[in-house]
Structure 1
Amino acid sequence: MPRNALYAAIVLVLAVAAAVVSFTKGNWYGVIWVLMACVASNITWYYLRKDRLARRAAATPAQRG
């Protein structure tokens, strides 16, 4: 797993935990944490996909014309 994807996944878990705590205390600031979790999720998937495509490109030999 790429380092950036790992960091984004950690932020995702922490943002979800913060949102749960905020909502259980009756604080509507949890909405901001949910939005941050959405962004972190997108960043995680982006870096995972980018790494997968880079590995696939490195594994296949270049076609010569």
Structure 2
Amino acid sequence: MSETTYRVTGMTCQHCVASVTEEVGALDGVTDVAVDLASGAVKVVGSAEESAVREAVEEAGYELAS
């Protein structure tokens, strides 16, 4: 199991956190998602590829920081 932290831009409230958590958490291989609203950090535990995480974040309406 790997743990990767991404930075997501555009999140401003708890609804944003819930949306990102739901979309990323639904990915195959993801066992845990922790979102820190203040920093924009999204910690993903599991075996999901970055491209899949990026797509899930975009589906929720946000972007991974470059």
TM-score of the two chains, using structure 2 as the length reference = 0.30
TM-score of the two chains, using structure 1 as the length reference = 0.30
